Amino acid sequence: MNKTVREIAEIVGGKIIGDENVVITGISGIKEAKPGDLTFIANKKYKNLLYTTKASAIIVGYDISDYVNGITLIQVENPSLAFAKIMSLVGPEPITFPPGIHPTAIIGKNVSIGKDVSIQPFAVIEDYAKIGDRTVIGAGVYIGHYTKIGCDCLIYPHVVIRERIKIGDRVIIHPGTVIGGDGFGFATVKGVHHKIPQIGTVEIGNDVEIGSNVTIDRARFDKTYIGNGVKIDNLVQIAHNVYIGDNSIIVAQVGISGSTVIGKNVIIAGQAGIIGHINIGDNAIIGGKAGVTKNVPPNTHVTGFPAREKWEDMRYQAYIRKVPELIERIKKLEERIKELEKNGKKTSEDH
- Site for its own copies, residues 48 to 107, rule: CB under 8 A: 77-78, 80-81, 83-84, 87-88, 90-92, 94-95, 104, 106
> Which whole-number Å values give the CA distances from 77 to 13, 17, 35, 317, in the listed order?
9, 15, 25, 38
Q: Does 14 bind its own copies (CB under 8 A)?
A: no
Helix, strand or coil, per DSSP, at residue 282:
coil
- Which positions from 110 through 169 interact with its own copies, judged by CB under 8 A? 120-122, 124, 126, 138-140, 142, 144-145, 156-158, 160, 162-164
- Which positions from 203 through 242 interact with its own copies, judged by CB under 8 A? 209, 211-213, 215, 217, 220-222, 229, 231, 233-235, 237, 239, 241
Query: Which residue, 19 or 184, has its beta carbon nearer to its own copies?
Result: 184
Q: How far is the CB of 244 from its own copies (least distance, A)?
A: 13
Per CB under 8 A, the list member of 1, 17, 196, 278 interacting with its own copies is 196
Nearest-angstrom CA–CA distance, 253 and 324: 35
Residues 101, 121 contacting (CB under 8 angstroms): no
Helix segments in the chain, DSSP class H: 5-12, 79-90, 310-350
C-beta neighbour count of 87 within 10 angstroms: 12
Per CB under 8 A, the list member of 18, 99, 114, 270 interacting with its own copies is 270
| Overall size of the chain counted in residues | 351
Nearest-angstrom CA–CA distance, 156 and 152: 13
Per CB under 8 A, the list member of 99, 281, 291, 298 interacting with its own copies is 291
Nearest-angstrom CA–CA distance, 260 and 96: 37
Q: Does 23 bind its own copies (CB under 8 A)?
A: no
Q: Does 193 bind its own copies (CB under 8 A)?
A: yes
Query: Which residue, 73 or 142, has its beta carbon nearer to its own copies?
Result: 142
Active site residue 240: yes
Residues 177, 199 contacting (CB under 8 angstroms): no
Catalytic positions are 240
